Amino acid sequence: KAGVTQTPRYLIKTRGQQVTLSCSPISGHRSVSWYQQTPGQGLQFLFEYFSETQRNKGNFPGRFSGRQFSNSRSEMNVSTLELGDSALYLCASSANGQFRGELFFGEGSRLTVL
Amino acid sequence: AQTVTQSQPEMSVQEAETVTLSCTYDTSESNYYLFWYKQPPSRQMILVIRQEAYKQQNATENRFSVNFQKAAKSFSLKISDSQLGDTAMYFCASEGAQKLVFGQGTRLTINP
Protein backbone atom coordinates (compact mmCIF):
# COMPACT_ATOMS: atom_id res chain seq x y z
CA LYS A 1 0.00 0.00 0.00
CA ALA A 2 1.41 3.39 -0.98
CA GLY A 3 2.22 5.78 1.83
CA VAL A 4 1.28 9.40 2.29
CA THR A 5 2.49 11.44 -0.68
CA GLN A 6 3.23 15.12 -0.46
CA THR A 7 4.03 17.42 -3.36
CA PRO A 8 6.09 19.36 -4.02
CA ARG A 9 8.93 18.19 -1.81
CA TYR A 10 10.83 21.47 -2.02
CA LEU A 11 9.83 24.93 -3.08
CA ILE A 12 11.14 28.46 -2.86
CA LYS A 13 8.86 31.48 -2.83
CA THR A 14 9.23 35.17 -2.19
CA ARG A 15 7.41 37.28 0.36
CA GLY A 16 3.89 38.19 -0.67
CA GLN A 17 3.41 35.20 -2.93
CA GLN A 18 1.06 32.34 -2.22
CA VAL A 19 1.67 28.61 -2.19
CA THR A 20 -0.42 25.46 -2.46
CA LEU A 21 0.77 22.15 -1.03
CA SER A 22 -0.81 18.82 -1.83
CA CYS A 23 -1.24 15.65 0.18
CA SER A 24 -2.50 12.25 -0.94
CA PRO A 25 -3.34 10.05 2.04
CA ILE A 26 -3.02 6.32 2.26
CA SER A 27 -5.76 4.63 0.28
CA GLY A 28 -8.86 4.27 2.44
CA HIS A 29 -7.81 6.89 4.99
CA ARG A 30 -10.39 9.63 5.37
CA SER A 31 -8.67 11.88 7.89
CA VAL A 32 -5.87 14.22 6.86
CA SER A 33 -3.98 16.50 9.23
CA TRP A 34 -1.40 19.19 8.55
CA TYR A 35 1.45 20.24 10.80
CA GLN A 36 4.08 22.94 10.52
CA GLN A 37 7.56 22.04 11.72
CA THR A 38 10.16 24.71 12.48
CA PRO A 39 13.32 24.59 14.59
CA GLY A 40 12.00 27.25 16.95
CA GLN A 41 8.35 26.27 17.38
CA GLY A 42 8.60 22.54 16.80
CA LEU A 43 5.56 20.75 15.42
CA GLN A 44 2.41 22.79 15.43
CA PHE A 45 -1.04 21.63 14.38
CA LEU A 46 -2.59 23.49 11.47
CA PHE A 47 -5.87 21.70 10.74
CA GLU A 48 -7.57 18.34 10.34
CA TYR A 49 -10.08 17.23 7.75
CA PHE A 50 -12.37 14.25 7.75
CA SER A 51 -14.67 13.46 4.85
CA GLU A 52 -14.19 16.94 3.37
CA THR A 53 -15.06 18.69 6.65
CA GLN A 54 -12.62 20.63 8.77
CA ARG A 55 -12.99 19.26 12.27
CA ASN A 56 -10.27 21.18 14.02
CA LYS A 57 -8.02 24.14 13.40
CA GLY A 58 -4.85 25.29 15.13
CA ASN A 59 -3.84 28.80 16.10
CA PHE A 60 -2.66 30.08 12.76
CA PRO A 61 -3.72 33.25 10.94
CA GLY A 62 -6.36 33.17 8.25
CA ARG A 63 -3.63 33.19 5.60
CA PHE A 64 -3.41 29.47 6.21
CA SER A 65 -6.28 27.52 4.73
CA GLY A 66 -6.98 24.03 3.56
CA ARG A 67 -9.50 21.78 1.97
CA GLN A 68 -10.16 18.14 1.36
CA PHE A 69 -11.60 16.61 -1.76
CA SER A 70 -14.04 13.72 -2.12
CA ASN A 71 -11.13 11.34 -2.83
CA SER A 72 -9.61 12.38 0.55
CA ARG A 73 -6.73 14.24 -1.08
CA SER A 74 -6.02 17.48 0.70
CA GLU A 75 -4.45 20.79 -0.14
CA MET A 76 -3.28 23.59 2.06
CA ASN A 77 -2.74 27.14 0.92
CA VAL A 78 -0.71 29.93 2.42
CA SER A 79 -1.34 33.39 1.04
CA THR A 80 0.76 36.53 1.37
CA LEU A 81 3.82 34.57 2.41
CA GLU A 82 6.04 35.88 5.20
CA LEU A 83 9.62 34.95 6.02
CA GLY A 84 8.37 33.17 9.14
CA ASP A 85 6.34 30.76 7.03
CA SER A 86 9.55 29.00 6.03
CA ALA A 87 9.09 25.52 7.43
CA LEU A 88 8.60 21.85 6.78
CA TYR A 89 4.90 21.19 6.26
CA LEU A 90 3.89 17.68 7.20
CA CYS A 91 0.74 15.91 6.22
CA ALA A 92 -0.56 12.87 8.08
CA SER A 93 -3.44 10.53 7.47
CA SER A 94 -5.36 8.14 9.68
CA ALA A 95 -7.97 5.52 9.00
CA ASN A 96 -11.60 6.55 9.54
CA GLY A 97 -10.62 9.52 11.65
CA GLN A 98 -9.87 7.28 14.61
CA PHE A 99 -7.32 9.60 16.10
CA ARG A 100 -6.50 7.27 18.89
CA GLY A 101 -4.76 5.11 16.42
CA GLU A 102 -1.69 5.70 14.39
CA LEU A 103 -0.94 8.74 12.26
CA PHE A 104 0.95 8.07 9.04
CA PHE A 105 3.12 10.95 7.95
CA GLY A 106 4.39 12.01 4.57
CA GLU A 107 7.96 13.16 3.99
CA GLY A 108 6.88 16.77 4.01
CA SER A 109 7.09 19.83 1.80
CA ARG A 110 10.03 22.09 2.58
CA LEU A 111 9.00 25.72 1.97
CA THR A 112 11.60 28.48 1.88
CA VAL A 113 10.38 32.06 1.75
CA LEU A 114 12.91 34.65 0.58
CA ALA B 1 -4.66 23.38 27.10
CA GLN B 2 -2.63 20.29 26.38
CA THR B 3 1.12 20.58 26.82
CA VAL B 4 3.95 18.15 26.27
CA THR B 5 7.46 18.78 27.56
CA GLN B 6 10.66 17.02 26.63
CA SER B 7 13.47 18.28 28.81
CA GLN B 8 16.38 16.69 26.95
CA PRO B 9 17.13 18.51 23.67
CA GLU B 10 19.96 16.12 22.80
CA MET B 11 21.28 12.77 23.94
CA SER B 12 24.11 10.60 22.79
CA VAL B 13 24.93 6.98 23.69
CA GLN B 14 27.10 4.16 22.45
CA GLU B 15 25.68 1.39 20.34
CA ALA B 16 24.15 -1.46 22.39
CA GLU B 17 23.59 0.76 25.41
CA THR B 18 20.18 1.49 26.91
CA VAL B 19 18.83 5.02 26.79
CA THR B 20 15.77 6.65 28.32
CA LEU B 21 14.07 9.71 26.89
CA SER B 22 11.89 11.78 29.22
CA CYS B 23 8.49 13.31 28.61
CA THR B 24 5.92 14.99 30.81
CA TYR B 25 2.48 16.08 29.73
CA ASP B 26 -0.60 17.83 30.89
CA THR B 27 -4.12 17.18 29.68
CA SER B 28 -7.67 17.68 30.85
CA GLU B 29 -8.88 14.61 28.98
CA SER B 30 -10.09 11.74 31.12
CA ASN B 31 -9.16 9.14 28.55
CA TYR B 32 -6.30 9.81 26.21
CA TYR B 33 -3.47 8.27 24.26
CA LEU B 34 0.22 9.02 24.35
CA PHE B 35 2.72 8.38 21.60
CA TRP B 36 6.39 8.38 20.78
CA TYR B 37 7.24 9.22 17.19
CA LYS B 38 10.62 8.93 15.52
CA GLN B 39 11.84 11.23 12.77
CA PRO B 40 15.03 9.94 11.12
CA PRO B 41 17.19 12.29 9.08
CA SER B 42 15.10 11.45 5.99
CA ARG B 43 12.27 13.29 7.79
CA GLN B 44 9.37 10.85 7.60
CA MET B 45 7.84 10.50 11.04
CA ILE B 46 6.92 7.02 12.14
CA LEU B 47 5.15 5.76 15.21
CA VAL B 48 7.40 3.99 17.70
CA ILE B 49 4.99 3.12 20.46
CA ARG B 50 1.53 4.01 21.79
CA GLN B 51 0.07 3.96 25.30
CA GLU B 52 -3.60 4.08 26.22
CA ALA B 53 -3.96 6.05 29.42
CA TYR B 54 -6.56 3.77 30.96
CA LYS B 55 -4.23 0.78 30.65
CA GLN B 56 -1.93 0.39 33.62
CA GLN B 57 0.43 -1.98 31.83
CA ASN B 58 3.32 -0.25 30.13
CA ALA B 59 3.45 -0.68 26.35
CA THR B 60 6.36 -2.50 24.76
CA GLU B 61 7.41 -2.94 21.14
CA ASN B 62 10.48 -5.12 20.78
CA ARG B 63 13.44 -3.01 22.05
CA PHE B 64 11.18 -0.06 22.86
CA SER B 65 9.22 0.26 26.08
CA VAL B 66 7.61 3.04 28.04
CA ASN B 67 7.38 3.91 31.71
CA PHE B 68 3.94 5.45 32.09
CA GLN B 69 3.33 7.18 35.41
CA LYS B 70 -0.21 8.53 35.13
CA ALA B 71 -0.32 10.36 38.46
CA ALA B 72 2.96 12.10 37.71
CA LYS B 73 1.94 12.67 34.08
CA SER B 74 5.19 11.18 32.95
CA PHE B 75 5.75 9.07 29.84
CA SER B 76 9.36 8.08 29.22
CA LEU B 77 10.72 5.94 26.39
CA LYS B 78 13.37 3.31 26.96
CA ILE B 79 15.40 1.98 24.07
CA SER B 80 17.31 -1.19 24.86
CA ASP B 81 20.29 -2.50 22.91
CA SER B 82 20.41 0.71 20.90
CA GLN B 83 21.33 0.49 17.24
CA LEU B 84 22.82 2.97 14.76
CA GLY B 85 19.44 3.08 13.01
CA ASP B 86 17.87 4.48 16.16
CA THR B 87 19.60 7.80 15.47
CA ALA B 88 16.75 10.27 14.98
CA MET B 89 14.63 12.98 16.52
CA TYR B 90 12.14 11.53 18.97
CA PHE B 91 8.88 13.29 19.69
CA CYS B 92 6.53 12.62 22.53
CA ALA B 93 2.90 13.45 21.77
CA SER B 94 -0.50 13.41 23.42
CA GLU B 95 -3.78 13.09 21.61
CA GLY B 96 -6.92 15.15 22.02
CA ALA B 97 -9.63 16.77 19.90
CA GLN B 98 -8.54 15.22 16.62
CA LYS B 99 -4.98 16.45 16.91
CA LEU B 100 -1.63 15.56 18.38
CA VAL B 101 0.27 17.93 20.62
CA PHE B 102 4.00 17.32 20.30
CA GLY B 103 6.92 18.02 22.57
CA GLN B 104 9.95 19.89 21.26
CA GLY B 105 11.78 16.66 20.56
CA THR B 106 14.98 14.95 21.66
CA ARG B 107 17.77 14.48 19.16
CA LEU B 108 19.24 11.04 19.86
CA THR B 109 22.57 10.00 18.40
CA ILE B 110 23.80 6.43 18.61
CA ASN B 111 27.57 6.27 18.27
CA PRO B 112 29.41 3.20 16.92
Contacts of A97 in chain B (CB under 8 A): 98
* Contact yes or no for B99 and A106 at CB 8 A: no
The pLDDT of residue A97 is 63
User: CA–CA distance from A6 to each of A34, A36, A109, B1, B14 (Å)?
Assistant: 11, 14, 6, 30, 35
Per-residue pLDDT reduced to its tens digit, B72-107: 999 999 999 999 999 999 999 998 777 889 999 999
For chain A, positions 28-57, list CB contacts with chain B under 8 A: 31, 33, 35, 42-43, 45, 48, 50, 55-56
Reported in sequence order, the residue ranges of chain A that DSSP labels E, i.e. its strands, are 5-7, 10-13, 19-24, 31-38, 42-50, 53-57, 64-68, 74-78, 87-94, 104-105, 109-113
Shortest distance between the Cα of B44 and any Cα of chain A, in A, equals: 5
Per-residue pLDDT reduced to its tens digit, A44-89: 999 999 999 999 899 999 999 999 999 999 999 999 999 999 999 9
Shortest distance between the Cα of B36 and any Cα of chain A, in A, equals: 11
What's the pLDDT band for A100 if we cut at 50, 70, 90?
low
Q: What is the DSSP letter of A25?
A: P
With a cut of 90, say whether residue A43 has pLDDT above it: yes
User: What is the overall mean pLDDT for chain B?
Assistant: 93
Contacts of B102 in chain A (CB under 8 A): 35, 42-43
Shortest distance between the Cα of B47 and any Cα of chain A, in A, equals: 7
Q: What is the DSSP letter of B64?
A: E
> Hey, how many other C-beta atoms are within 10 angstroms of the C-beta on A78?
25
8 A C-beta contact, residue A22 and residue A108: no
Most confident segment among A105-114, B26-35, B49-58 = A105-114
What's the pLDDT band for B7 if we cut at 50, 70, 90?
very high
8 A C-beta contact, residue A35 and residue A43: yes
